[in-house]
């Protein structure tokens, strides 16, 4: 199947399919005229790539996981589950960091709002507070 056909079948832009190939995630063979041709497994490979990208995995990790699929779906062989668990732990850590940052920012916002209200500053959110008072 040609790249345009794969794009239509998977609803993935041609540009992304080329990128996946550049990253070593998708394989094609070239015709004598230089056109890309994909095998019958390509739509399933694209679906796997999309699923792993949606799960937040970087392309370097996806490249390592591509040969490790069991069956036609997104199920991976047991030998790489440790790798997936490491990625999940990394996500958990990043979520915790973002949650702490969100909490700290919320506290700053609440304190600032209270201070402005107590001072009767009358500034609307987003105002810089540099208007001359009347």
Task: For the chain, 134 residues long, give each residue's pLDDT as a single digit of tens.
Answer: 999 999 999 999 999 999 999 999 999 999 899 889 999 999 999 999 999 999 888 899 889 888 888 777 778 888 888 888 988 999 999 999 999 999 999 999 999 999 888 888 655 555 555 555 54
Residue 55 CB-density burial (10 A; 0-12 exposed, 13-18 middle, 19+ buried): middle
What global pTM score does this model have?
Answer: 0.69
Contact 87, 95 (CB under 8 A): no
pLDDT of 80 reads 85
């Amino acid at each position: 199947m040609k790249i345009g056909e794969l794009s239509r079948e998977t609803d993935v832009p041609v540009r992304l399919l080329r990128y996946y190939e550049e990253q070593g995630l998708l394989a094609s063979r070239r015709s004598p005229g230089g056109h890309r041709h994909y095998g019958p497994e390509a739509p399933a490979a694209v679906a796997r790539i999309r699923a792993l990208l949606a799960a937040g995995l970087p392309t370097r990790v996806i490249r390592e996981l591509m040969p490790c699929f069991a069956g036609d779906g997104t199920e991976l062989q047991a030998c790489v589950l440790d790798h997936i668990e490491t990625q999940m732990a990394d996500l958990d850590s990043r979520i915790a960091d973002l949650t702490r940052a969100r909490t700290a920012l919320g506290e700053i916002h609440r304190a600032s709002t209270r201070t402005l209200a107590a001072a009767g500053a009358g500034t609307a959110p987003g105002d810089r507070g540099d208007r001359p008072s009347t």
